[in-house]
A and B are shown apart, each in its own frame.
Chain A
Amino acid sequence: MACKVGIPRALLYYRFSRLWPVFFEKIGCEVKVSDETNKATIDQGAASVVDEVCLPVKIFFGHLDWLSDCHVDYLFVPRIVSIEKKAYICPKVMGLPDMAATAKKDYPPFISPLINNIRGEKDEEYIRELSPYFSCGKKRLKQAWLEAKKEQARYDQKISKEFWIEEGLKDDDPELLNVLVLSHCYVAHDRYLNMNLLEKLKKAKCRVVLPENISDELLERAVKGLKKKPFWTYGKQLLGAAFWFSRMPGRKGAIILTTFGCGIDSFIGNMAERHFKKAGIPYLIITLDEHTGQAGLETRVEAFLDMLRWRRKHYENNFPTYGEYLDTIARDAGIHRAYSCCTSHDK
């Protein structure tokens, strides 16, 4: 009988949403990915860990609780130390299996391989880490791993091509606003957590740019000017996106979307904020927590977008042709280039 593996839909699941399920399916496991976050997940998660941890980790625990009620045989709680060379994820993610092991509830046994790419990525290491958990041979594991990796790469390519604009809108619509949403992938894609902010922006005629839409090469180049590169993957990505975005011409605004208690964003968000201030780019900082009232968020976002539109109109009145010219070219030259770079770069 195939065993059932539960994967919590939280934290880095959003980064590897194809890799992990496909891998487990290929080696003959039944995969159960938890449902999208809802109020019960957050409440349950907040009850099972100490108050001081950040919201995404609380949500992770909520998903663990949900899965352990689903009679899965194993829970997949990897210890993710690093997903790229010379950069960590974050201390809390590194200690996740240990934190989960001490949580109050009795969970099913964990599958927690160590994922550490700090010295470069090696497939053999993964296989070695994973093999104690499975009875099938290393060859089969490796095959499954490689196939899963291919699937993930295909998916990455697909989403990087996706334009984050409302359907039916044309790409060169003069009404379109460019808005960069600076946030970690597990905040940007968790629709309950961020109160569906991305959809709201799209509906309000915005082109939403996420850090993950920008290719790694561009990000790497953007942070090169810094005296010291941040040693967190997401720190680098966010700061790189901020630098890159501010260099693109055209009218635009940035939303720094962070969660309460995020240690990395307390530094990186502040650095990005200082940068935006100096570059003269309007920005809005939203800190998400357990509150569920949407009106506050909506009002702030609306006001921000109104301000952006007002700015555009105001400045375009002052410098009519040049401003307009700059704006349309910008969208084609700037944002488009990034997208095409993205697609050509992905293997």
Chain B
Amino acid sequence: MLEYIGLTVVVPPMTSKRTIVLGTQHAPEFACLPLKINIGNFIEAKEHGADTFLMAGGVGPCRFGLYGQLEAEILGDLGIDYDALIIEPPDKGIWQFVRRVRKITGSASWLRVLQGIHLGYRKACFVDSLERVVESVRPRERAEGTADRIFKQALFTIDRASNNTELEEAAGLARQKLQHIPQDEDKDVLKIGLVGEIYTLLEPFASGDVERKLGRMGAHVVRSIYLSDWVSDHLLGGFLRRKGQEEYKKYAKPYLNHFVGGHGIESIGAGVFFANNGFDGIIHIAPLTCMPEIVAHCIFPKVSEDLDIPVMTIYLDEQAGEEGLNTRLEAFVDLLANTKKTGLLDRSATIC
């Protein structure tokens, strides 16, 4: 989208161990993981020549709303010279939003800007719809990893698409390829709902690749949040409000009756929704010390008990050891498979 209006975009290298090391070194100790990774990303992007960083803002009460400010301060203290552009959501004042966007876009015409936003948003939507296909194919594919390879290629072609026709072509082709992957139709597949904090849901490196791992273990994973939801809800201020997120909120009653910032209420709502729709289990992931998700974590045992669905909460931090996570996921999947087979649920073992 930014390239569309004539800016040079430096995409930081994929999040890696080095990113997290850089981030944890400079971020406050008890800050949440996304902030640490963000700072690492910005430092790495600087090494690749970026001079301005673009951040979304917010009005609380989740800490994300202050990310931009704290990052600007931390980078400034490190002597890393950055121009901070923080876009606050339009509900704080439409004119401020317009001014900030203007500052980014410079001399590009408004039509061009709107077209750029629209194209970016459509790309997100296409990627999300492809991802849903990948999620359902992954546990059934005969050759492990085919879907992921195709998806990776599709991301690349979608990213390169510079207009609507190219985009539709790229997405359509990828979808067809995905649908033609040889699959084992008779396989008994578990359905697992993945809920939690958005960043850890969307960034595979931060979440230790939970989604893919579960897929390979034979589970059809459905996430509660996809990128396009967030873009439409937060950045575009709900002008294009779609049903998904709002609906989840309704399900959260009576377990959580008030919004608690971040995605706390969506996590609970989606959990209830998944439980009511025949899912076998729920995995709740969040960065350590995430405030809204801690509230959700406190409430999940009750949801699990009332709706008879196993829930596991996983907190993620800069710890890189993978095996602990693998063991927990395997145990959880085994438990679900066993429950499904025997129809018995050992209550004492389901709340982890």
Contacts and interface: CB of A to CB of B under 8 A. Distances in A.
Nearest to A262: B30
Nearest to B292: A91
A48 to B, nearest CB: 10
Contact-residue bracket for chain B: 35 or more
Given A266-B31, A270-B31, A230 B66 contact: yes
Nearest to B296: A95
A263 B294 CA distance: 11
A88 B59 CA distance: 9
Nearest to A231: B60
Interface string B273-298: 00000000000000011111011011
B28 A270 contact: yes
A261 B295 CA distance: 13
Nearest to A278: B77
Contacts of A88: 60-61, 261
A91 B298 contact: no
B125 interface: no
Contact of B260 (A50, A91, A270): A91
B334 to A, nearest CB: 24
A261 B30 contact: yes
A102 B297 CA distance: 10
A92 B59 contact: no
Interface string A235-261: 000000000000000000000000011
A81 interface: yes
A274 interface: yes
Contact of B69 (A90, A94, A228, A265): A228
B255 A263 contact: no
A89 B66 contact: no
A267 B61 contact: no
A231 B61 contact: yes
Contacts of A90: 61, 291
A290 B326 CA distance: 31
B272 to A, nearest CB: 13
Nearest to B295: A95
B88 to A, nearest CB: 8
Interface in A33-77: 49-50, 52-53
Interface string B25-37: 0001111100000
Contacts of A265: 30
Contact of A94 (B29, B61, B290): B61
B262 interface: yes
Given A91-B262, A99-B298, A231-B65, A263 B315 contact: no
Nearest to B67: A267
Most A-side CB within 10 Å, residue of B72, B294, B301 = B294
Contacts of A92: 260, 291, 294-295
Contact of A263 (B30, B68, B77, B297): B30
Given A102-B298, A102-B299, A95 B289 contact: no
A237 B30 CA distance: 20
B73 interface: yes
B258 A81 contact: yes
A50 B77 contact: no
Interface residues of A, number: 39
A333 interface: no
Given A266-B31, A271-B70, A232 B61 contact: yes
Interface string B73-103: 1100100000000101000000000000000
A127 interface: no
Nearest to A82: B61
Given A230-B66, A232-B60, A94 B260 contact: yes
Given A94-B61, A98-B258, A102-B255, A228 B294 contact: no
Contact of B289 (A52, A79, A103, A271): A52
Most A-side CB within 10 Å, residue of B60, B69, B295, B298 = B298
A52 B299 contact: no
B107 to A, nearest CB: 25
A81 B66 CA distance: 18
A101 B86 CA distance: 38
Nearest to A268: B66
Nearest to A235: B66
B302 A102 contact: yes
Contacts of B59: 231
B170 interface: no
A231 B89 CA distance: 14
A227 interface: yes
B23 interface: no
B215 interface: no
B250 interface: no
Contacts of A261: 30, 289
Given A50-B294, A98-B258, A102-B298, A266 B61 contact: no
Contacts of A52: 288-289, 294, 297, 315
Interface of B: 28-32, 57, 59-63, 65-66, 68-70, 72-74, 77, 86, 88, 255-262, 264, 288-292, 294-295, 297-299, 301-302, 313, 315
10 contacts: A91-B61, A94-B61, A94-B260, A94-B295, A95-B256, A95-B295, A228-B86, A231-B59, A262-B30, A267-B70
